[in-house]
Amino acid sequence: MKYKIWWDKFKLICTLRPMYAQINSTDCDHYYTERVEKYSCGYIFYREMIYFYDNIEYKGAFYSITKEQYEERKDEDVAIDYIAEACENGHPYNVKG
């Protein structure tokens, strides 16, 4: 019985409801990106999450957020190149991030 309730809920999430994600990543060149995405259903969300973690170059996070959080952040993509920032500040050997 418990398994059936879980399976029914999982099928509902994977087929009907849109899901929202925040994706943060830093590559080996210390280039940081942060963005939000909307997926039409849970199946695509989980497929993209698996693809993200299978192909990530250095470190990052892919997690679910609410629709309200997505609406607040959808126009605020962040991209920071920490190596270029360090060179501009005159400290090319002291890179944060």
Give residue 59's domain range. 2-88
Q: Is residue 94 in a domain?
A: no
Number of domains in the chain: 1
Q: Is residue 95 in a domain?
A: no
The C-alpha torsion from 30 through 35 and 40 to 41, rounded to 10°, is: 60
> Using 50, 70 and 90 to split pLDDT, how confident is the model at 97?
low
* Per-residue DSSP letter, 51: H
End-to-end CA distance of the chain: 48
Q: Is residue 84 in a domain?
A: yes
pLDDT in tens, 25-55: 988 878 888 999 999 988 888 889 889 988 8
Q: Is residue 31 in a domain?
A: yes
> Using 50, 70 and 90 to split pLDDT, how confident is the model at 59?
confident
Name the nearest CA neighbour of 71 among 20, 18, 17.
20
